[in-house]
Amino acid sequence: MIERMEPQAMTTFRRRRFDPAISNPRGPGIQYQCEICGDRLDSCSEHAVACSCRNLVLDVDAGRISAKDPTRVCIIEGGGGQELKRSQQQGG
């Protein structure tokens, strides 16, 4: 009997610090998460959005992301809503 290694659920997204001093990346799969309320904002939003506690504000018109407390914000890359899950079933 061959025991197959089950692939671990790998987290493909990367988290990094939000730094308002440098340009804020925007694009598909890039999200900003407020660590205070836990809300995530899509960087590709077409309109201005803010998190529940208003710490994180995505100002689309100005093309920037501002935060009252940048140390409590992180950028999540590759965290888009698409989750690829492979499930293989072999009859037998």
**By the criterion CB under 5 A, which residues form the site for Zn ion?**
34, 36-37, 51, 53, 55
Beta carbon nearer to Zn ion, 47 or 85 = 47
Looking only at the bridges linking them, the beta strands covering 73-77 and 14-17 are antiparallel
Instruction: Specify which residues 73 forms β-bridges with.
Output: 34
**Minimum distance of Zn ion from residue 25's CB (angstroms):** 19
Residue found under tokens 């598909």: 28
Beta carbon nearer to Zn ion, 37 or 49 = 37
State the DSSP code for 4: P
On whether the CB atoms of residues 56 and 67 are closer than 8 A, the answer is yes
**Minimum distance of Zn ion from residue 55's CB (angstroms):** 4
Beta carbon nearer to Zn ion, 30 or 39 = 39
